Amino acid sequence: DSGVTQTPKHLITATGQRVTLRCSPRSGDLSVYWYQQSLDQGLQFLIHYYNGEERAKGNILERFSAQQFPDLHSELNLSSLELGDSALYFCASTWGAGGMGNEQFFGPGTRLTVL
């Protein structure tokens, strides 16, 4: 158990809908990263939040957004869903702003299926 929790575990929805994925980092960790894992794209970095502020965006679509709340949990919002958004979404946390050698601790993921 990494100490990172994600809810829900599974999510099935229809095209055009909007969903929210939630992540609670390890106790004491200030950084939350979101990754998307799909068969065709592999593991892709989406976005990084540190202590409530967005630090960087990766390959994140404009239909997707995220935020980190004062209690440090984070939510990833996916809207106008398309079939191709079906994937496993992971969040990871690390202490501080993250560093080159810092280990990131991954949650169990949320499997999103768009029908």
* Residues that bind other proteins in the complex, under the rule CB under 8 A: 2, 4, 33, 35, 42-45, 48, 50, 55-58, 90, 92, 97-109
Shorter beta-carbon distance to other proteins: residue 12 or 80:
12
Shorter beta-carbon distance to other proteins: residue 45 or 79:
45
| DSSP states of 92-110 | EEESTT--TTPPPEE---E
- What letter does residue 25 receive in the DSSP assignment? P
What's the min distance (Å) between Cβ of 33 and other proteins?
6
Give the position of tokens 């990766």: 58
What's the min distance (Å) between Cβ of 16 and other proteins?
28
SS3 of residue 66 by DSSP: strand
